[in-house]
């Protein structure tokens, strides 16, 4: 993640694999959003994933598109596991704003990163520095601050978001919000339960992350994936959800 070095919990990487239901659900929601805004998967566009970690999303998107995606992160250990057949991966703090990378990318992916950042405005300015005019920024963040819990604290979340918060952030930048949608509405009861469980007793960070994100067994994993398929089929744009996807376009000038 593009956050302070060595602050992201390593437990996450061993759990958040390509087969995890949440990773599949997030991809499915993104593909629906891309379809709705008419963003091509077949064009040879060049993108950047900021906070690429071990490259799970990178791998998913290379399979689903013709894009070339570079991945950057501050975690050298995670980048060594990064996957890319087309793009480059390298250690880079985007706040450096290297001249050779200015206006370099057709799109930038900022998934589950913004919630870790203290100074959102400075960070977003740095992200947009790397994006071409009329390029797209795709963001995913945890939704609804009422569900903020010890799990969020354990994984380094500063906050959760709603649509109004995102609008208030990006109104200050030279951007157009093209599309916002919640996803994972069916998981809201589990999010509420996770908050209650973690309120009752103190646990170490590793246990909170494992118990809060790892499916308890194969049967649960099977059921939640079936629910995922139903929601993606029947609810393209849920009115609430555990996460929020945002598609943003950088204006000219």
DSSP line for 28-95: HHHHHHHHHHT--SSS--EEEEET-TT-HHHHHHHHH-S-EEEEEES-HHHHHT---SSS-EEE--GG
Token pair belonging to 78: 């995670």
Residue 105's SS3 state is: strand
- The answer to whether 163 touches 248, Cβ cutoff 8 Å, is no
Residues 6+ apart with CB under 8 A from 156: 1, 3, 7, 8, 9, 116
Q: What are the residues facing 180 on neighbouring strands?
A: 246
How far CA 73 is from CA of 53, 63, 106, 246, 250, in Å, comes to: 6, 21, 19, 21, 23
For the entire predicted model, the pTM comes to 0.93
Parallel/antiparallel/unpaired status of strands 131-142 and 243-250: antiparallel
1 falls in which pLDDT band (50, 70, 90)? Answer: very low
Judged against a pLDDT cut of 60, whether residue 52 lies above it is answered with: yes
Judged against a pLDDT cut of 80, whether residue 207 lies above it is answered with: yes
Judged against a pLDDT cut of 60, whether residue 4 lies above it is answered with: no
Domain positions in the chain: 11-250
* pLDDT confidence of residue 202: 59
Q: Give pLDDT tens digits for 182-206.
A: 999 999 999 999 888 877 655 678 8
Q: Residues of the chain with pLDDT > 90: what percent?
A: 73
121 falls in which pLDDT band (50, 70, 90)? Answer: very high
194 versus 105: the higher-pLDDT residue is 105
Give residue 31's Cα distance to chain centre.
13
Residue in the block written with tokens 């071409």: 132
* pLDDT confidence of residue 16: 81
6 falls in which pLDDT band (50, 70, 90)? Answer: very low
Query: Which CATH homologous superfamily contains domain 11-250?
Result: Vaccinia Virus protein VP39 (3.40.50.150)
3 falls in which pLDDT band (50, 70, 90)? Answer: very low
């Amino acid at each position: 993640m593009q956050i302070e070095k060595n602050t992201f919990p390593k437990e996450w990487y061993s759990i958040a694999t390509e087969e995890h239901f949440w990773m599949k659900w997030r991809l499915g929601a993104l593909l629906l959003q891309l379809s709705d805004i008419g963003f091509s998967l077949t064009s040879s566009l060049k993108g950047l994933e900021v906070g690429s970690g071990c490259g799970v999303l990178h791998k998913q998107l290379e399979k689903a598109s013709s894009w070339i995606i570079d991945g950057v992160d501050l975690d050298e250990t995670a980048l060594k596991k990064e996957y890319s057949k087309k793009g480059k991966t390298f250690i880079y703090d985007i706040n450096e704003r290297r001249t050779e990378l200015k206006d370099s990318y057709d799109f930038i992916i900022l998934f589950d990163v913004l919630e870790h950042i203290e100074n959102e405005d400075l960070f977003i300015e740095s992200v947009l520095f790397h994006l071409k005019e009329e390029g797209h920024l795709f963001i995913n963040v945890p939704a609804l601050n009422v569900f903020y819990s010890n799990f969020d604290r354990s994984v380094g979340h500063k906050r959760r978001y709603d649509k109004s918060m995102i609008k208030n952030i990006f109104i200050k930048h030279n951007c157009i919000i093209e599309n916002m949608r919640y996803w994972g509405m069916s998981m809201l009861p589990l999010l509420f339960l996770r908050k209650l469980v973690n309120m009752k007793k103190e646990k170490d960070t590793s246990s909170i992350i494992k118990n809060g994100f790892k499916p308890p067994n194969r049967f649960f994993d099977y059921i939640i994936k079936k629910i995922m398929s139903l929601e993606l089929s029947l609810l393209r744009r849920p009115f609430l959800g555990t996460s929020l996807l945002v598609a943003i376009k950088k204006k000219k000038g």
